Amino acid sequence: MGNMNGKVTLVTGASSGIGRATALAFAREGAKVVVSDVLADGGEETVRRIKGIGGEAIFVQTDVSKAADVEAMINKAMETYGRLDYAANNAGIDGEIAMMPDFTEDEWDRVVSIDLKGVWLCMKYEIPRMLESGGGAIVNTSSMAGLVGFPAKAPYVASKHGVVGLTRTAALEYSAQGIRVNAVCPGVIHTTMVGELLESMPEVIESLNKQAPVGRIGQPEEIAEAILWLCSDAASFVTGHSLAVDGGYVIQ
């Protein structure tokens, strides 16, 4: 506990699920947290939960697909806390399900703008501020769909593969300057979206559990702990890596 006292972290997509669990994990370790999401109610609730465990946090409403929003988010973090040490670029959407010819151009652009362009924009504005702070660590949320293909999810799969590529490139560009950049690749996780699916189709849980060798779906806190480790000094020799936290799905 308290291994990140005095540090400042940014977590995007932190209104629920993996983002909220990650924000709470950083707060538990003593970091001050900039909570970001396009959804204000959920983001403010995450801040309340952080303060409820004795942590310090602010909420900044942000659409990560818009450069002006991302720049304002980073500026607010610097104005409030004066530094930026860690970033978990987690904001993303799942998108529609369709075969490749059936996706509309608008849907392609929507998914890629949030899931891929959003990660690039976050790093674009985070990295210069981290350099001012003497270095830091960034973890981008990809997916097991960033490591293997999935049918009927072309924009999402392309975006998540792109996040892995961006992560490797940023690691090559900035690791020597003290900024480590890694990615986490979650499997099926019991987020709000999955929870809603299971409520409407409870029979799906058995098939989801069978997808991974461990025999179950994951919990947001399990991804949060991986992100926390990748940002921590315990992972000081790890950069440019895409860590699958998927119960063994991609090794099959």
Question: What pLDDT, in 10s, does the model give residues 86-138?
Answer: 999 999 999 999 999 999 999 999 999 999 999 999 999 999 999 999 999 99
Q: Which of 25, 52, 133 shows the shortest CA–CA distance to 85?
A: 133
Whether the predicted pLDDT of 1 surpasses 60: no
Return the amino acid letter for 84. Answer: L
pLDDT at 196: 74
Pairwise CA distance, residues 73 & 122, whole Å? 9
**Average pLDDT of span 181-190:** 97
Domain 8-190+220-240: CATH superfamily is: NAD(P)-binding Rossmann-like Domain (3.40.50.720)
- Name the percent of the chain lying above pLDDT 90: 90
pLDDT at 152: 94
Location of structure tokens 């530094």: 83
Least confident of 5-9, 70-74, 207-211, 241-245: 207-211
**Average pLDDT of span 54-58:** 98
| Residues in Cβ contact with 13 at an 8 Å cutoff, skipping those fewer than 6 apart | 19, 36, 37, 64, 90, 91, 92, 141
Local confidence band at 2 (pLDDT 50, 70, 90 cut-offs): low
Pairwise CA distance, residues 143 & 246, whole Å? 9
Containing H/E element for 140?
strand 136-141
Condensed to tens digits (0 to 9), the pLDDT of residues 199-234 reads 777 778 888 888 999 999 999 999 999 999 999 999
**Average pLDDT of span 3-13:** 96
Whole-prediction pTM:
0.96
| Residues in Cβ contact with 110 at an 8 Å cutoff, skipping those fewer than 6 apart | 93, 95, 155
pLDDT at 208: 86
Active-site residues, by number, are 156
| Token reading at 167 | 């992560």
